[in-house]
Every structure is written in structure tokens, then in C-alpha cells.
């Protein structure tokens, strides 16, 4: 019998975790049908943590059957009030287990425990509380009087069986954004974590069961994207799929829907978000926000302000302050233990991502011959982990690959602009449209920017300060649909129109 649990010791917190390793189907952990497993590696040390079961296409079929049975026979008949009670019980369990959940995120993804992973869990608590209280408030239709003899009304109804695919940069936060919204709407779920970061979601499944959710309502199917992701995208008995990840893979998910049953698709894909700094901005605050907006989570954030445009009159002053704050607050040297309170910049997720970011840095230095600043000498030889120092390229031309392509690491490019029109032309010159930021004291200019920027999120005098109550999603190749806030429930509901003929004579 394959190993379905292991004991993980986290000595920094004196925590011992009974970690599930199996697929979670019908409220039970089980082995994969073909016995395949995936090794997961601690990116701060480069060492293998453990191996977990990798689902096959057959396992996906098994999970879909469980989810369909649960939806048709139990969950679709469960009142909104009762769904809210289940989510409230889940909320209490998350609060009780928040250190364990954060610790698993830290060892599996490299997130600094105190400054990053615990913040993620705090957001999940807030999000779950929000959806637990909104279950019976967001899924209401409307009544439409048509004439004296006829009326119509609409119903908001769940899709049924929903598949969700979450990325490795926010393993549990992204999963919760999707999962709790879909459950609040009344759907049953199959959810696939990333190959690199499956541990926290598998442990989270134990809380789902403890909260009393009926068997089959939530199913966790870890595995390879080429197998599990493809099976979810093409499955004929899945009614909707929600994906967060790269634009390339998002396109494949959309294509799979078109080639199968035209299941509804929500996509949150890549970004290359601009931050505009005008000469009237509070420069110290702008520098602080922008540094956090690119170096937090080691730059592995879809909304990271990785393109910074600064008005030419203050450009040199901004660059000087930006380098100073990067060195002062975001240096990685000496802080290679993500459980250390002084560690603010953890490793990137994997050796593959490390090499990819390193290639971009070398491209900027050698091929494009850009001016570069790093907070410490790179590569860092004192650690076996995948640490990359915050890196700033300045005077970067618009044609540079570093400016046009998503790097997904602690690497930022800074360029000049002359006036508002120039800034907007540069900011919108991208295939992405996930997020954006502007720093100015001019209220009119701020609202003009909000009007003119082609992006799903706009921050005025801040960056990457999201809230669970606010809709989130992208323009252009950054995605389709919205999650979080009321949209996080509505996204998982369909509208049904009902026509009622009052008169019996016609």
C-alpha cells in the first residue's frame, strides 16, 4: 500500500505535522491508480521534503463522479444558510491551524514565514469569513414585470461540477479565492494544486472534512498539468473551469474547453504591471510601495509592478532612493532561513525558475548592456537554495525583452517619461492588463489614469494592496472573468430566466 501520510517536523516552530500525501476524493485520501508520485522540494535548501501521489486521468474520472453525485444528491439540495454554516466551521479550523498552514507554505514554496506566509493565511481567514457571511446574500435573482398578464424572474444557479487549477506562487491563497467562492455559490469542486506546492492544500483538505462538508463536495487532485490539467480541461462532465497561471497555459485551457463541451472558463494569467511616478508624487512613499510591489514574495506575483515609469524631472532622485530602499529593506544576504523574522525575500520556487530569471539578468547585462543594480553579489554562493537578490535595471528601452516579457522574479525595470500622454502610451504598450499603479498628488490626473489604463486593477498612491471584498481580474491576455468580492460568488453562478403567464385565458 502506498504511503498516504508522513510526519513532517518543523523544528523552527516546534511543530509536527501529519501530512497527507494521497489524492483527496470523496472525503478520503487514496493512492493514485497508477502508483505515480511527485517529489516536492524545499526551495530554501534545495532538499526533497517528501513525495505525494500524482493523479491519473482515471483518478480525475473518479473524482468527477464523486463531485457529480455530491452535487446532484446532496449539495444542490443544501440551503445557502447551511453552506454558510459549513464555511463558518471551516473558518474556525483555519484560525486554529493558521501557524501549521503557514509553515507548510514556507517549507514548500519558500515564503518567509513571518512577513509573507502568515499574511497569506490572514487573508484566507478574512476571505472565508466574507464568503461564509455572504452565501445567502449574493445569489439572488430579480423580478421583472412585463405587463399586466405576465412577469419574469431570474434565478442565480450554480454551474454544478467546477474544476479549479491553482498556481505555485500563492498555493493556498489562490485556492481559497476559488474554492470558497465556488462552494458559497453551491458548486462541487475538483481542485488541482501546482506540482511544486501541493502540501498545504492537501492538509487543508483535512480541515474540509473536519468542517463536515459532505463527501465529494471538495476533491483535491494533485498531479502533472500535462495529465491532470488536460483531463480537467477536456472532461465532458465538468461544467466550469477556473485557472490561474501563465498566459500560455491559460490559452490551452480555453482551447480545451472549445474542443470538449464548451465549459465556462475563468482565467487569471500573466502580467507586466506598470507603475507611473509623476513629479508631484510623494517620492518616499512611492519608493516604499513600488519596492514592496516588486520584491515581496520574491517578485513571484502576477500583479507585481515590474515596469516602473518615472517622470524625467525626478528620475535620478527616484532611482537613487529606490536603490537605497532595496538595499536597506529587501537585501537577501545572510537571511536564508524563511523562518527567520529578518528574512523578507525568500527563494524563488525552483531550480527551473531560478535558471530562467538568471537568464533574463544575464540578457540585460551582456546582450542589452543595461545599467544594473543588485542588493548583493549574484549568484549567492552561501546557500543551496534558489535565492536571487533584488535586481534593478535602469534606463531600459521599451523594446527590451526585460520590459516586455514577464520575468516573475525580483527583477524590475525603470524608464523615463516626459508627460501624461507619453506615460500612458508606454504603460499601455503591452499584451497584458492585470494591474497598474499611479503615484501623484493630482486628483484629476489619478482619475484620468484610472480611465485610460487598460488594466483590471488600478492602485492610486499604493501598489499590490488587494482586498478580498474587491473584484480581481485582467484585461487583454491577462485573463477572462473576475474573482474575489461579490464577483467571487457570481463568477460561479449562471442566470436562469423564468417567464410566468399569469392569465389563464391566453
Q: Answer yes or no: is pLDDT of 504 > 90.
A: no
Q: Residues 503, 149: contact at Cβ < 8 Å? A: yes
Q: How many helices (H) and strands (E) would you count in the chain?
A: 15, 24
In this prediction, residue 383 carries a pLDDT of 84
Arithmetic mean of pLDDT, 303-322: 98
Q: Which three cell numbers stand for residue 88?
A: 463558518
What are 339's three cell numbers? Answer: 523562518
Summarised one tens digit per residue, pLDDT across range 250-259 is 999 999 999 9
pLDDT tens digits, 186-203: 999 999 999 999 999 999
- Dump pLDDT digits (tens) for 75-111: 999 999 999 999 999 999 999 999 999 999 999 999 9
Let me know: does 222 contact 53? Beta carbons within 8 Å: yes
Class at the top of the CATH hierarchy for domain 56-269+482-494: alpha beta
Top-ranked range on mean pLDDT: pick from 131-140, 291-300, 324-333: 291-300
Question: Which helix (H) or strand (E) segment is 67 a member of?
Answer: helix 57-73
In 330-411, which residue ranges form alpha helices assigned H by DSSP? 351-362, 401-404
> Across-strand partners of 413?
307, 393
Q: Give the whole-number percent of the chain exceeding pLDDT 70.
A: 100
Domain 274-471 superfamily per CATH: Aldehyde Dehydrogenase; Chain A, domain 2 (3.40.309.10)
Q: What is the pLDDT of residues 361-373, one digit of tens each?
A: 999 999 899 999 9
pLDDT tier at 335, thresholds 50, 70, 90: confident
Q: Inform me whether the pLDDT recorded for 473 exceeds 70.
A: yes
Q: What pLDDT, on the 0 to 100 scale, is given for residue 506?
A: 59
Contact present, 321 and 284 (Cβ < 8 Å): yes
* Cα maximum dimension of the chain: 86
User: Which one of 268, 359, 406, 418 is the catalytic residue?
Assistant: 268
% the chain with pLDDT above 90: 93
Check whether 466 has a pLDDT greater than 70. yes
Tell whether omega for the bond before 379 is within 30 degrees of 0, i.e. cis. yes
The residues that bridge with 40 in the sheet, in sequence order, are 50
* C-alpha cell belonging to residue 250: 491559460
Q: When comparing pLDDT for 334 and 158, which is higher? A: 158
CA distance 216 to 202: 15
CB 157 within 8 A of CB 140: no
| Strand pairing category for 432-433 and 435-439 | unpaired
What are 227-269's pLDDT values in tens digits? 999 999 999 999 999 999 999 999 999 999 999 999 999 999 9
Mean predicted confidence (pLDDT) in 22-39: 97
95 grid coordinates: 484560525
Establish whether 268 is a catalytic residue.
Answer: yes
Map grid coordinates 498539468 to a residue.
225
Residues of the chain with CATH 3.40.309.10: 274-471
Q: CATH 3.40.605.10: which residues of the chain?
A: 56-269+482-494
- Dist CA 355 CA 485 (whole Å): 37
Asked if residues 283 and 317 have their Cβ atoms less than 8 Å apart, the reply is yes
Give the start-end residues of each E strand in 444-492: 457-460, 475-476, 479-480
What's the distance, Cα to Cα, between the start and end of the chain in Å?
68
Amino acid at each position: 500500500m502506498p504511503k498516504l501520510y508522513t510526519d513532517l517536523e518543523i523544528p523552527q516552530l516546534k511543530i509536527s505535522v501529519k501530512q497527507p500525501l494521497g489524492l483527496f476524493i470523496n472525503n478520503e485520501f487514496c493512492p493514485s491508480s497508477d502508483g505515480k508520485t511527485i517529489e516536492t522540494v524545499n526551495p530554501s535548501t534545495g532538499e526533497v521534503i517528501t513525495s505525494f501521489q500524482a493523479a491519473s486521468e482515471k483518478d480525475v474520472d473518479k473524482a468527477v463522479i464523486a463531485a457529480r453525485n455530491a452535487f446532484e444528491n446532496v449539495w444542490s439540495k443544501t440551503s445557502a444558510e447551511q453552506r454558510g454554516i459549513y464555511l463558518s466551521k471551516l473558518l474556525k479550523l483555519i484560525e486554529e491551524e493558521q501557524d501549521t498552514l503557514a509553515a507548510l507554505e514556507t517549507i514548500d514554496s519558500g515564503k518567509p514565514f513571518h512577513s509573507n506566509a502568515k499574511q497569506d493565511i490572514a487573508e484566507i481567514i478574512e476571505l472565508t469569513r466574507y464568503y461564509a457571511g455572504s452565501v445567502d446574500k449574493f445569489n439572488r435573482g430579480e423580478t421583472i414585470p412585463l405587463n399586466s398578464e405576465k412577469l419574469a424572474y431570474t434565478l442565480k444557479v450554480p454551474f454544478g461540477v467546477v474544476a479549479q487549477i491553482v498556481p505555485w506562487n500563492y498555493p493556498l491563497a489562490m485556492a481559497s479565492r476559488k474554492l470558497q467562492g465556488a462552494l458559497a455559490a453551491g458548486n462541487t469542486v475538483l481542485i488541482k494544486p501546482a506540482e511544486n506546492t501541493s502540501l498545504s492544500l492537501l492538509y487543508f483538505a483535512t480541515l474540509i472534512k473536519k468542517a463536515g462538508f459532505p463527501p465529494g463536495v471538495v476533491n483535491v487532485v494533485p498531479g502533472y498539468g500535462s495529465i491532470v490539467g488536460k483531463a480537467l480541461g477536456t472532461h465532458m462532465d465538468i461544467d466550469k473551469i477556473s485557472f490561474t497561471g501563465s498566459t500560455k497555459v491559460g490559452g490551452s485551457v480555453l482551447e480545451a474547453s472549445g474542443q470538449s463541451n464548451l465549459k465556462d472558463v475563468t482565467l487569471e494569467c500573466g502580467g507586466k504591471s506598470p507603475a507611473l511616478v509623476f513629479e508631484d508624487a510623494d517620492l518616499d512613499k512611492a519608493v516604499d510601495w513600488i519596492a514592496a510591489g516588486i520584491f515581496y514574495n520574491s517578485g513571484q506575483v502576477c500583479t507585481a509592478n515590474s515596469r516602473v515609469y518615472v517622470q524625467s524631472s525626478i528620475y535620478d532622485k527616484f532611482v537613487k532612493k529606490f536603490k537605497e530602499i532595496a538595499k536597506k529593506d529587501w537585501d537577501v544576504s545572510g537571511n536564508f532561513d524563511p523562518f527567520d523574522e529578518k528574512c523578507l525575500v525568500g527563494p524563488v520556487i525552483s531550480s527551473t525558475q531560478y535558471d530562467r530569471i538568471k537568464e533574463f539578468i544575464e540578457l540585460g547585462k551582456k546582450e542589452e548592456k543595461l545599467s544594473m543594480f543588485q542588493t548583493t553579489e549574484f549568484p549567492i554562493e552561501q546557500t543551496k537554495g534558489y535565492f536571487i537578490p533584488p535586481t534593478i535595471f535602469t534606463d531600459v528601452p521599451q523594446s527590451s525583452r526585460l520590459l516586455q516579457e514577464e520575468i516573475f522574479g525580483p527583477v524590475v525595470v525603470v524608464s523615463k517619461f516626459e508627460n501624461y500622454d507619453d506615460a500612458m502610451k508606454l504603460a499601455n504598450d503591452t499584451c497584458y492588463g492585470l494591474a497598474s499603479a499611479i503615484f501623484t498628488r493630482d486628483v484629476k490626473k489619478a482619475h484620468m489614469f484610472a480611465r485610460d489604463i487598460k488594466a483590471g486593477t488600478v492602485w492610486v498612491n499604493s501598489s499590490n494592496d488587494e482586498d478580498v471584498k474587491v473584484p480581481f481580474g485582467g484585461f487583454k491576455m491577462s485573463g477572462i472573468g473576475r474573482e474575489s468580492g461579490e464577483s467571487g460568488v457570481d463568477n460561479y453562478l449562471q442566470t436562469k430566466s423564468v417567464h410566468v403567464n399569469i392569465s389563464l385565458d391566453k
